[in-house]
């Protein structure tokens, strides 16, 4: 490869950096917003529990983050504009919040189990959140 050709390839590739930064920054802001909403919906304080070394809180919140990030990543990969990203991320948020509410019905002691550090309910919630996130991502058509 000659240096001019290589320089042209690099220059062409770098033209997508502004779009990358825009999508990445918006996606991170959406993730932070989702986490703020989620931790205010749950009756326990995940961040404080995680700081205190509670593995159940870390597992359940990690699964929820992954379950939310999966459809957001799918939207970024397939979207045509930032409006798609915002709208479909809002849908992913609603789906994950609904997933948590369903888990509370299935496991009525979940609100006590996570702060108590019980791993089995935390693992179940994480797996449910990731599973629902995968299905949610696959169902997003636009």
For the segment 26-67, what is each residue's pLDDT rounded down to a tens digit? 999 999 999 999 999 999 999 999 999 999 999 999 999 999
Give 97-134 as a DSSP string.
Answer: HHHHHHHHHHSTTHHHHTTTT-HHHHHHHHHHHHHHHH
> In which band, very low, low, confident or very high, does the pLDDT at 92 lie, cut at 50, 70 and 90?
very high
**Which pLDDT value is given to residue 8?**
72
Residue 1 confidence (pLDDT):
59
Average pLDDT estimate for 112-140: 97
Q: In the prediction, which pLDDT does 12 show?
A: 75
What integer best gives the mean pLDDT of the chain? 94
**pLDDT on residue 3:** 78
């Amino acid at each position: 490869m000659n240096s001019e050709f290589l320089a042209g390839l690099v220059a062409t590739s770098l033209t997508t950096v502004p779009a990358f930064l825009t999508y990445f920054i918006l996606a991170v802001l959406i993730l932070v917003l989702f986490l703020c909403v989620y931790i205010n919906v749950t009756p326990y304080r995940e961040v404080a529990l995680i700081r205190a070394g509670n593995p159940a809180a870390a597992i359940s919140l990690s699964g929820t983050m992954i379950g939310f990030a999966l459809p957001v990543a799918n939207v970024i990969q397939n979207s045509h504009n930032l409006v798609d990203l915002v709208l479909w991320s809002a849908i992913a948020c609603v789906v994950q919040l609904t997933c948590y509410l369903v888990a509370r019905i299935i496991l009525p002691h979940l609100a006590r189990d996570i702060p108590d550090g019980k791993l089995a309910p935390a693992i179940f919630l994480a797996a449910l959140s990731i599973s629902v996130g995968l299905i949610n991502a696959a169902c997003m058509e636009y």
